[in-house]
Amino acid sequence: MRRARTGRRLRFTALGAGAVMVALLAPGGSAAAQGTVAPAPGSNLSQQTMGNLLAALNGESYAYAKYDAYRQVATSPLAALWGRTADMELRQHFAHFAGAYRLAGTDKANLTAAVAGEAYETTDMYPTFAREAAAAGDQAASRLFGELAADEAHHRALFAQALTATNGGGGTVPAPPSVEPVKVVVNVATVKPHTLQNLLTAMHGEAFAHAKYLTYAQAARTHGALKLSQLFAGTAKVELREHFATEANLAGLAGGARANLLVAIGGETDEAKVVYPDAAQQAYLANETVVGNLFRQTAHDEARHAASFASALRHLTLPDGTAVQLSQSPYRHRSGPMDGTGPLARPALDGTGNRWGWGL
């Protein structure tokens, strides 16, 4: 990978005084660093709600990238359903949560965060993943992680140059990196479980970086910083179309139509019935009604997504010509490349007590 050189208005409009409203008007993101940006200064939300919002941002950006990958391997009309749903995850759900979280700050703050995220990936995450993959005998994955580290170093340099220019320290905001899109294909992972887990972590980071940079691009555009907007938007494209896509192919993200629908139904159902209702309840308990309503409304949306995917599944036929029976509960579907962390495995609680585990 020689890449080293390389909307809509928010439907939810009452997130409180001073909240940054984010509108992602253009189509279209690191795990640890990109996905754990510090709470925005000035937020008066509880730590619990800020944590839930951050988890939601991670989940929605990943849902977008995953459904967009499914779209690429689907035929009509299923491809259109994936595309429509992906758009809603990004342009509505991610955008609403970004507004509540105040993800976008000033251009300087956004550039500083971008430099920090890219630096983490360049010097820590990807080099570690490359070493671990090599030790596991996954040479192709090790090479990929090494190439991605080089790409991220280039991104860091571009953002640092833009930050200097924005601070009045000389120079100009550079052009965005070039994009060499990678097509997502149906594939089966052959890497070791630990490498696969690292791939999934990296994919979440790339998806988050993509959505975050689009948010920063929109913020820059609103006050006429067009070159900076182009730098963020162009880098976002690299994160999704090159980095996420290449990792997705190695991780075997995209499967057949039925498998993809079952994975999606499991994720949507968990968000609709557990994750967002819990987050809403916690917000209400903290008297954060507006954000509570946002979580509750999003839960309703996810239930509709689950129903749409279930309907699509009913219209598929099995190889013997019979229709798929939804009574075969998707939650019993455990196929997938990962032992114990298969596509529909319930996300485990992580060290912070939330339930946002990485599943395909």
- Tell the smallest beta-carbon distance from residue 306 to Fe ion (Å): 8
Name the minimum Å distance from CB 125 to Fe ion: 10
Among 312, 205, 307, smallest CA distance to 260 is for 312
Give the residue among 188, 240, 186, 185 at the shortest CA–CA distance from 213: 240
Helices (H), the chain: 31-35, 47-73, 78-88, 95-101, 107-120, 126-135, 139-166, 193-222, 226-237, 245-251, 257-270, 276-285, 289-314
Tokens linked to 169: 């320290």
For Fe ion, which is the closer residue by CB, 59 or 255? 59
The single residue among 87, 147, 239, 288 that binds Fe ion, judged by CB under 5 A, is 239
In Å, how far from its chain's centre is CA 98?
12
| Closer by beta carbon to Fe ion, 45 or else 232 | 232
**Shortest distance, position 263 Cβ to Fe ion, whole Å:** 12
Query: Of the listed pieces 236-244, 245-253, 287-295, 316-324, which binds Fe ion according to CB under 5 A?
Result: 236-244
Give dist(CA 310, CA 326) in Å, integer. Answer: 7
Considering only residues 162 to 201 of the shown chain, the ones binding Fe ion according to CB under 5 A are none
Kindly tell me which residue out of 155, 204, 241, 333 binds Fe ion, with binding defined by CB under 5 A: 155
Q: How far is the CB of 317 from Fe ion (least distance, A)?
A: 25
Q: Toward Fe ion, which CB reaches closer, 102 or 154?
A: 154
In the DSSP assignment, the letter for residue 282 is H
Which position among 107, 152, 270, 288 is part of the footprint of Fe ion (CB under 5 A)?
A: 152
Pick the closer one to Fe ion by CB: 107 or 302.
302
Amino acid occupying residue 44? N
Q: Residue 352 CB, nearest distance to Fe ion (Å)?
A: 21
Of the candidate spans 37-45, 203-211, 214-222, 286-294, the one that interacts with Fe ion by CB under 5 A turns out to be 203-211
Shortest CB 44 distance to Fe ion, Å: 25
Q: List all residues 6 or more positions away from 310 whose beta carbon is below 8 Å from its beta carbon.
A: 261, 265, 326
CB 276, min distance to Fe ion, A: 9
Check residue 93 for interaction with Fe ion (CB under 5 A): yes
Q: Which is nearer to Fe ion, 153 or 186 (CB)?
A: 153
**Positions in 251-310 near Fe ion (CB under 5 A):** 268, 302, 305
> What's the min distance (Å) between Cβ of 265 and Fe ion?
10
Taking the C-alpha atoms of residue 306 and residue 297, their distance in angstroms, rounded to an integer, is: 14
Question: In this complex, which beta carbon is closest to Fe ion, that of residue 89 or of residue 270?
Answer: 89
Nearer to Fe ion, 138 or 270 (CB): 270
Torsion from C-alpha of 79, 81, 84, 85, nearest 10 degrees:
-120
Burial of residue 203 (CB within 10 Å: 0-12, 13-18, 19+) is buried
Give the CA count within 13 Å in the CB-facing half-sphere of 58: 27
Residues 37, 115: contact at Cβ < 8 Å? no
Task: Report 4-43 residues binding Fe ion (CB under 5 A).
Answer: none
Spell out the residues 6+ positions from residue 48 whose beta carbon is closer than 8 angstroms to its own: 282, 286
Over the window 103 to 122, marking each residue x when it contacts Fe ion by CB under 5 A and - when it does not, the resulting string is ---------------x----
Least Å distance, CB 98 to Fe ion, is 13
Alpha-carbon distance 217 to 237, whole Å? 12
From candidates 89, 107, 138, 247, binder to Fe ion by CB under 5 A: 89
CA-wise closest residue to 130 among 186, 175, 213, 191: 191
Q: Which one-letter DSSP state was computed for residue 340? A: S
Between 107 and 268, name the residue whose CB sits nearer to Fe ion: 268
**Is there binding between residue 87 and Fe ion (CB under 5 A)?**
no
**SS3 label, residue 150:** helix
Q: Name 76's Cβ contacts closer than 8 Å, sequence gap at least 6.
A: none
- Given the rule CB under 5 A, which residues bind Fe ion? 60, 89, 93, 118, 152, 155, 206, 239, 243, 268, 302, 305
